[in-house]
Every structure is written in C-alpha cells, then in structure tokens.
Structure 1
Amino acid sequence: MTAISLHDCRSRDAADPLRPLRDLFALPPGVIYLDGNSLGPLPRATAARVARAVEQEWGQGLIRSWNDAGWFEMPGRVGDRIAAWIGAGAGEVVATDTTSINLYKVLSAALQIAAQDAPGRRVVLSERSNFPTDLYIAQALCRQQGCTLRLVEAQELPAALDGEVAVLMLTHVNYRSGAMHDMAALTRAAHEAGALAVWDLAHSAGAVPVHLHDAQADFAIGCGYKYFNGGPGAPAFVWVHPRHAERFWQPLAGWWGHDAPFAFTPEYVPAPGIGRYLCGTQPVLAMVALACGLDTLEASLPHGGMRALRAKSLALTDLFIALVEQRCGDAGLRLVTPRDHAQRGSQVCLSYQGPHARHCVSSLPPEGAVPALGQPGDGHAEGAYAMVQALIARGVVGDYRAPDILRFGFTPLYLGFEDVWKAVEQLGQVLDSGEWRRPEFGRRQAVT
C-alpha cells in the first residue's frame, strides 16, 4: 500500500467543504484536540453570548427576563433544536438536568410501564461495558423496585432478551471502544421479546446519524457537553416516544414539570407530553451556552448537515487507523474500535498490549464483536495512561480510559486531515523515544 503523506492530508483539507467551520471555535494555538467526545471545545460566540445573558438579561432585566428574554421556554426551545439531530419530532425533547438524572427518570417510567403491561418481567438488561453511571443508576432503581440488573457482552444481547427482561438499556456508541450498536435491530429485538428499549445517546448525538422514530425506540437521553459543544456540565436532554409520554409520572415530580407551575397548587398535576420530564428551575446561563454549541452544528446544514459530518468523521477515523498502522505498526498497540463503518462511532480507541506485541491492529472476532478489553492489573494500564499524558504534553489532547485504552475523538466541525497526520506522528515519536516512561507522565490525576 502506498504510504500516506502529509501532502496527501493537506490536499484533502483543501477540498473539504466543512473546513471553514473550524473558525467557529476558540481552539488554543498549537493544540490538536482529539477529546471532543468527552468535552467539546469553546465556540467563539459563547463567551459574548453568555456575557450578554449575565450583564443585560440578568443584570438589567432581572427577574423580568424569565418572560422578556424567553428564559422560561428555553428547555423546550433548545430541546426542539436537539430533536433535529436525533430523529425526534418537535415538542418531544427537553433540555434539562444531567444525563444520570434523566436516565433515572426514563428508566423509572419504563419499569412502571413494564410492571403494568407485563408484571412478571423484572430484569433490566444491559451491556457489561456500558458507561458506569448508567449501570449505577440501574442498580439503584433495581434495588428500590425489586428488579435485577443483568449484564452480558454485546454479542450476547439478542439471546439474553428472554421472557424476564422488562427493559433493554444501552448506550448507542460505547464510551470505551467506540463500537456502535444497531439501534433499530436491537430495539426491534427488544420489542419482539416484549421489552422496552432505553438508549443513551451521549456518544452519538451530534456525531453519528440517530433516528429514534425510525428505530421505534421508547426512551432516550444524552448530554450537551460532548458533540453539542455546550460547555462543561451543560444541560442534558430527554426524549420519550409520544406513545409513552403521558402514561406515567416521572419520579422527580418537581414544579417545572407541573401543568401550571405558577398556579402554586399543593397537588401535582403533570404537564402534558415531554414537559412532565422537567423537574426544578433550569440553569439559564448553561442553557444559553448550550444554544451556542448547537449553533456550531447547525452551521453544517448548508454543507449537508449530519450526512456531511458523518462522511468526514468516517474519513478522519479511517485515516487515523491507517496512519497508526503505517507509523506505529510494531509498537504494541491494538485497535479496539470496529473497522466496519456501520459499527463505529466518531472515535478510535487503542489498547496498549505491551512492548513485545508486534501488531498494532488486530482483526475483530467473528460477527463483529469488539475485542475483549484487558483487565486492571494486566501490567499495561500504566503504560496507556502515561502515553496519553506524554501526548498531551506535546499538544495532542486525547484521554485514557481504564484499564488500558488510549481514546481519541474526531469531531469533523473543527478537525482536519492534517491534524490527524500530525497527531499520529506525535504518537509515533512518543512511542519511539520512550518518553512516556518519564515519571511525571505516570502520576495519576483526578480526571483521566
């Protein structure tokens, strides 16, 4: 195979219709940011817009801005903008609370529906490598409601959908491997088995095509601070299929979810539809920042929107994989993310296999299953962590996920093909030089 050159990458950048969108972001000079799948970068417009909300809407308008500046309607207004990126309808999504809190709401509602429609079903089924907060929320709810959380490997999910399962709870794109589930197929399998499907879109909303209605999903939640570029701790979002929206109260029946919150009645009357999934007073300044983040995604619409973003995302991740093979093929790394486009999110994850491994990329097991990850204590976790820290010191920002994963996110709004080439070159130099073995790169910080 012909080697890929820096010139090749620059030529692809010159022909990229999305390239001007990079200017929408305040990216630090000299930094290649491959961690937008964990925290999106700052849009240039956000600081001034939030300052205006602080100085004018809050400072001058004071409490009048709940009406005059439209603060009160923001959860639904921002939710409608999110709906366009996840295959939902207008009036079906609200931006509110956190991913964990919203999961608690929808999983509780799903278990209530299951208890009414199929009272013998008491199992929540999920993937063993699902994001931990999802598993923790499910564990807590199962303890409260006398249910069982059953965890299996990804390839075992269809067979595990038996007559005991009430809810299938999955993250669309796995946070640690980048593997993407077939939402429509698994939702269909859940329904055929008599179960409901709850989807976490934290690593897919704004990054890959999502079609909740087409997939006939039941519930979905996701966050605003990754591919929506809403800032650290940005409001999350929640979607409920209209066929379920008014069947039950959600468990956190706060005043913002009341049908008439300013009637101040002592009895709770849930708002119609998705409005009842609100809870308490909304974080206006954070919502303003999230709206600015959505502006950056919507700037792609004249260039093809999600179709163009997905095409570039796959091109960037394909290039990264090919360059790692070309530059680091004997460094003891292994590809964890699926090669198959239909199974890949917008990230690439590498597992450090140790200094004696000779192949960077391994084939996936049969049926597209993700290779099993190493376990803590296998001897390579410290190496993976230190490699990521050494890269960050060189200006290439990725992150580490236990036990041995180097994780790199690819956001096509601001990343180019030259960025990918330079990032892999820096990775190669880190590995060739062994500088990652320096003591300072092995010191663990609170956030990895």
Structure 2
Amino acid sequence: MNVRSVQIRELPESDIERALALAYLVFHESPEDERRRHHRESLAGLLRIGAYDGQELVGFAAAYPFTVSAPGGGELPCPGLSFVSVAPTHRRRGVLSGMMAELFARCAGQGAPLVALWASEASIYGRFGFGPGSYGATVEIDARRPLALRLAPDPRGLRLVDPDRAPALLGPYFERTRAHRPGRQARTEGWWREEWLVEKDEDDEALSPPRIVALGDPLAGYAIYRTKSGDEEARTPGLVRVDELEADGPAQAAALWSYLTAIDLTGTVRAWGRPVDDPLLLLAADRDQVRVTESFPALWVRLVDARAALAARTWAAPVDVVLAVRDERVPANAGRFRLIASPDGFSYAPTADEPHLSFEARDLATVYMGATSVAALVRAGLVAEHRPDAAAMLDAALRTELRPHTIDGF
C-alpha cells in the first residue's frame, strides 16, 4: 500500500531498533537500558507496521495481542495499538492514515472486532473512529487522620506479599474478577512482572519498589502501592500511591483503604485511574477527606468489525432499532443496519428502513463499551435520534452492572 511517496508494510524484526529510535524521538523519551531491552523484547512478538519513504523509516506502529472482557461477560480479542509514531518531517502527509488503515485491515483479518489504544493526544484519534471506551478518575485521600467510612471494614487479616510471589497469588484472582467490568485485559505472568511489579518506577524514581497487601485467606482483595517520603523543609507529608486495588465487595475494599490511609508518615493517599463508579466515593463518610481531583478518558476503542463486536457482547434487555452508521475509515461498518437483540438472541443486518438513530463510528464505540450512554450523546447533539424512544431502548439493552474500566496502560 502506498501513501503518496510512502510505502506502508510490515516492519521486519531487523528494523526494531530503528523503530524504537523513531518512537523515542517522537515521544521525547530516553529510557534506561533495562526499559529499552523490555521494549525490544516486547516488539519482537507484536504485529509491527512501518512507513518507509525510500529506505527511511518515517512511521511506526505496533499491536499487542490482547484479550479483553466484553460488555456483559465473555472475552474478545482486542489488539492494543502502541508505539504509534510519525517522523516530524512527515507529518500531515497521510502516514498515520495509511498505517491505521493497514492495522485495521490486519486486525480484522485476524478475527479481532475491536482495537484499542491509550491516546497521547485525544484530538488525534477521534477522526480514526476511536471513542473513549472507559474513563478513569484520580482520587486523593487526606491521610493525616483516620479514614472515616460509613460501614465497618472486613475484619479478616492483612498480610504483605513478596513481589516475586505476587503473580501466582494475584493473577488467578484478577482473572476471576475482571469479567465483571468491560474492557479489562487479561494479564500474563510476564505482564505482571514487566509492567506492574518492576522495581523502579520510571515516572518517579523517588517512589519505593511495589508493595502488595493481601486481605484474607482465601484471597478477598489486594492492593499494589508505592510510597514516597515527605520533605520536612518543604513541609510536605509522605505519599502512598495506589496503583491497583481489587476487592470482593465494599467491606473488603474498606479494609484495604483503611490500611493504606493508616500507613505511618503519610499525609496523602493518591490513586490514579480508579473506576468512575468506585464505591469508595459512596463509602466515604466525609467527602472533604476523599476527593476526585481528575477525570479523564482512559482506554480508547475502535470497532473494526461492528457486527462481530455487537454479536460478542450480551444484551440486558430486548432492542429493535435501525442504526445509520457513518464510518469513513472502515466502509464495511457504514450503512443502515437493523439491530435486533435480547438476552436470548442477536441479529444485525443491512436494511433500507428509515433510521431510528444516526451514529459516527467513534460514538458507536463508546456506547458499545458502556462508557457513555446513547441518551447523553443525543443530548450533546452527537447522535441523532429519529424516534423518541430509540436512545432509551438501546441504553437499556447495552446496560452493564458496572462501568467499563481498565488501568493497564501500554
């Protein structure tokens, strides 16, 4: 495939070093040797696409072979796009468009109805049909006093877990619980060790190595966190940064949050990327003590095969609507389709009937995951409702018990 003078093709393993050099240039990074080694080893096993202007590599993108939890349960192949880079000399020349088209075609050819990414710039990916598949929130807790909660924490014992033993203990628990939320990717032992439990945090070297606290035996919840000393001269208290907290229920979560906020020499507990429906926000007896300081789109999702994606999820209520879908990047998704679905069946077929709802590809992606309701997009003027009850009917069918959420960056 050619984009003007640029050829888009699979990037051979022999060009991985060139690809990393381009990615580090574009993202203003200069990782240490250990992180570079990890990137090289990861890329050796990924789908890789390069854009070449003659012999010069001017664009690069790769895709991890992820599996994610589908809305309502089940599993979906969902490649994770990463290292998306275009040389500054070749911006606005169709390089990114060409690489995206090639990636979409290859992923669909491998039977993956979705692709996902974490957007370095949110303004870029909407035009390629990506919509926010999940949202995250940063939560800060004032730990200078005991955490006030509205219910009693689970009284079972807590124990610290050696990071070397953590994947064997936490991995099966995470796999059992992640199906309850859409968009959560499966983790291999390598992913646990290379992404979650690395000794040094590359974003803040002042943070401690990872600490793991586990509740109960059998396991009823865990938290992964790092700590940082305060500065007496600046009068800044110590920090506990919570990287992940999983629990069977609210009492178990309360036990873990109580532990984290009671760690000595701590003034602030900060958790990035919490679910927007985190029960902590309801459990807190004093919302001045527990504050949401940031809310943001997290995982961005793109339907590369809309019919297959819709067929793979479950449906909470019957729905019969005609959707008009606009998709300039994947023409097979575009057109009018009659969606008939229920907990017992599914059909999605072309039709000449008048549409009840009109979607752009990016908005179909975000309502598919459950990050945004159809009704909210109608109110925002982004989805056109041509029949008064259509948005409410589709929202009822798309409903999941919990909002989509993931914290696994890539």
TM-score category by the smaller chain?
under 0.3
Normalised by the length of structure 1, the TM-score is 0.23
TM-score normalised by L of structure 2: 0.25
Q: Which has the larger helix fraction?
A: 1
